[in-house]
A and B are shown apart, each in its own frame.
Chain A
Amino acid sequence: MRAPVAAALTVVLAGGLSGCGAFGGEDVLTVYSGRNENLVGPILEQLEDAVGTEVEVRYAGSSDLAAQLLEEGESTDADLFFSQDAGALGALAKAGRLAELPQDVLSLVPEQYADDEGRWVATSARARVVAYDPRQAPEAAEMTSVDEVLDERYRGLIGVAPTNASFQSFVTALRLDRGEDGAREWLERLVDLDVQKYDNNIAVLDAVDSGEVALGLINHYYWYERVAEQGEDNVNAEIRFLDSDDPGALINVAGVGVIAGSEQEDAAQRAVEFLLSEEAQQYFADSTAEYPVVEGITSTEHDLEPLGQGSSVDLNDLDSLEETLDLLDEVGLT
């Protein structure tokens, strides 16, 4: 009974989708992308021409892919890891799964946008900002520090996305800036002010825009995308960039690393160079409203405020997420 079924299954499976996907990737550059296909699909499609080999992209969550890469170890087919945040790259670098990039690639970006040991490099940057409803909180236009958010007048009117990686990075920056106790105090005050919790940055921006809350902590590009989509006049919410040395103005990055032991190391390095090329940097500035990491590129689509010197937080220190999650648990912000 079982043997014929198994045999039939094998036949069916072998004749199935095996046409897709390459075995072992002879001359194929395999990219694991933790960045969403909607955001980076168009630019990755141009990779093939730029690098000169066939390119295959697998999309999934950045942390899922990091876990998968660690599990695959040296047998992996992946040549390049394109991550949504620095944390996943840092974890792979620490496990020795990323190859060192050549100096001429690293020198394309300012030093705060690359790993100290040159194992990964940022491809675009984003800043944390305060989104505000000018009808309820016109004074937010002058804010300089995230501490000003903790004002009694905003009781029940502050929106955050505590389960979102971007908010968690901010809390990590807060811990690095003020120590565990300082960060705990700040978060307890936030909870005490009856902070409103949302699922993601978009939901927070929606709430600010509709006046459901007066202030929201988000990444800058959500607002720019909203303005590009609906027109400045139809977006009620405004954003405020805080002082660049404030944890509330944290600058985080998306980036790439070449997988250690990749058979396509040259092609993978060319892919990194392409992502730092003028064309790709312009794409990030225009399509995703992120900050380019290469000097001299300005967005033609979005009126991006130039970034200051970037926050004082070293991105490599943003991998202490475990403690951040424990702290968020402790204050009841999960």
Chain B
Amino acid sequence: MAAALALLPIGYLLVRAVEAGPAAVLDTLWRDRTFWLVVRSLGLAAAVTAAAVVIGVVLAWLTTRTDLPGRRAWSVVAALPLAVPSYVAAYAWVSVVPSSAGFGGTWLVLTLSTYPYVYLPVAAALSRTDPALEEVSRSLGRSALATFVSVTARQVRPAAAAGALLVALYTLSDFGTPSLMRYDVFTRVIYSSYQASFDRTPAAVLSIVLVVITIGITVAEARSRGRAEHARVGAGASRTPQLLRLGRGRPLALAATGGVAALALGYPAVVLAYWVVRGQSAGVDWGRLVPAGASTLWVSLLGALAATALAVPVGVLAARYTGRGVRMLEHATYAGHALPGIVVALALVFFGIRYAEPIYQQTPLLVLAYAVLFMPAAIGSVRAAVSQSPPRLEEVARSLGRTPAGVLRDVTLPLAGPGIAAGFALVMLTTMKELPATLLLRPTGVDTLATELWTQTEVGAYAAAAPYAVALVLLAAVPTFLMSRAQETLVSDARGGER
């Protein structure tokens, strides 16, 4: 079911490409421009991923392992940039600093809006791992840095790799930021080829290239994860590690953390506040804002439910079995995540109108679109949570006569609960910000905060747009906050509430 859904867009793309015939396909493929697009998109994805991993890992380490002043507060703040839609951040930069357009601005905005994908799982992994290894390493005379590199970094590698994968796919699929920043990458060209010729062939061919790249990236990530996710005897005991004293490095660490927060949160907040002040004369149209907020909440809740329901079986399989079939299934679900929203939307238009006419342009189909787009985020969380809970417990339950289904219900899922909840929150918040698929598939007459924001900004009514942008950020901040809380719960549960 999950895989069938995930393969819908790919099926659609193949239909479109085959229909056009090999000549047209090759014509698109053999252009110089296609080659450069591959290079540029991959370059951007690599640069954003590298920077996001560095920021995410450093922040996670600072907030979980050191005596950074106010680290509990920082641990929540560090996750909050997820609540800022990247197109809002991009607009905030490019409207005030026009010279930020191009590669630099695209890289900056995407890095700042995606590093939480790395930060969250790494922070969770750091708080769950047994610090004993690190202590042993320190007692054997290794410096803090050497310990971090040789011990800590290895322990968080699977979490960091899973986060990096999401960052890379997000970068490949994002359209809003490169478009506002005027940096030509795949998605921007896919969109403009729809606009230019209404010819769906080049767009389909380029999208297939994107799918191939995605599969390459996911396979690489799976390889790097390897089989040694947690090679140790017993799960160890996660307890509060001894905090590293930063000593003279404290101001520097604080400046780094504060600097990231200022750029990723503070700056867009200031620009939004400026819009609000400018728009005060216009007032807030509550009659539109409230229903849009309610619709946003409703469809994102359903989208998160659907994505999580589909992700749990895939995630459990991916964590517990490493057969080829399971691998393929997992990789297939990632395809939807790297495709631009418009392509997934048109794929669902294509199938919806032919095979699901009664729900076409109704909520269920929109929810399915969200599931296709955002399942991978949920799968990643579920897989990480399941693979962190010791298989011994499941084995004990089986030996005591439980059925496999019973084990899943009573042992595996409760243990992975917080992780699944975090995945749910992540999908919910990404769904809130989604625009292209929402525009084409929403029920006629239903508006979400994202579509309202688009309506206003398209005609440059930034003052009128401000309330919707603020509402969207506030609404998205709730699941973000819950997500960082879910990780905390996970941690304190694991420690048997020893605090």
Contact = CB atoms under 8 A, between A and B. Distances in A.
B197 A321 contact: yes
A1 B312 CA distance: 10
Given A13-B363, A322-B197, A21 B445 contact: yes
Contacts of B313: 1-2
Nearest to A95: B198
A325 B461 contact: no
B221 interface: no
Contacts, number: 141
A20 B196 contact: no
Q: Is the interface of A mostly helix, strand, loop or mixed?
A: helix
Contacts of B1: 2, 6
Given A13-B364, A57-B445, A198 B455 contact: no
A297 to B, nearest CB: 23
Interface in B164-207: 179-180, 182, 184, 192-200
A194 interface: no
Interface string B356-386: 0110011110010000000000000000000
A20 B447 CA distance: 11
B145 interface: no
Contact of A20 (B95, B192, B354, B445): B445
B309 A16 contact: no
Contacts of B322: none
Interface in A50-103: 56-61, 63-64, 66-68, 70-73, 75-77, 88, 91-92, 95
A16 B179 CA distance: 34
A56 B444 contact: yes
Contacts of B461: 38
A199 B295 CA distance: 30
**Looking at chain A, what size class is its interface with the partner chain?**
35 or more
Contacts of A77: 361
A75 to B, nearest CB: 5
Interface in A31-58: 36-39, 56-58
A166 interface: no
B11 interface: no
A143 interface: no
Given A13-B302, A60-B439, A68-B346, A325 B455 contact: no
Nearest to B358: A23
A5 to B, nearest CB: 4
A197 interface: yes
A26 interface: no
Contact of B305 (A12, A36, A203): A12
Given A36-B459, A68-B349, A325-B192, A57 B444 contact: yes
A20 B440 contact: no
Nearest to A10: B364
B302 A334 contact: no
A307 interface: no
A12 B295 CA distance: 14
B342 interface: yes
A233 B464 CA distance: 24
Contact of B196 (A197, A202, A322): A322
A281 interface: no
Given A63-B198, A67-B346, A329-B33, A163 B361 contact: no
B213 interface: no
Interface string B90-116: 000011001001000000000000000
A210 to B, nearest CB: 12
Contact of B444 (A20, A163, A196): A20
A68 B302 CA distance: 24
Contact of A21 (B192, B349, B362, B405): B362
Given A20-B446, A165-B195, 15 more contacts: A2-B1, A13-B363, A17-B446, A20-B443, A21-B446, A30-B444, A56-B444, A64-B439, A68-B346, A71-B346, A71-B350, A75-B354, A162-B182, A324-B196, A325-B196
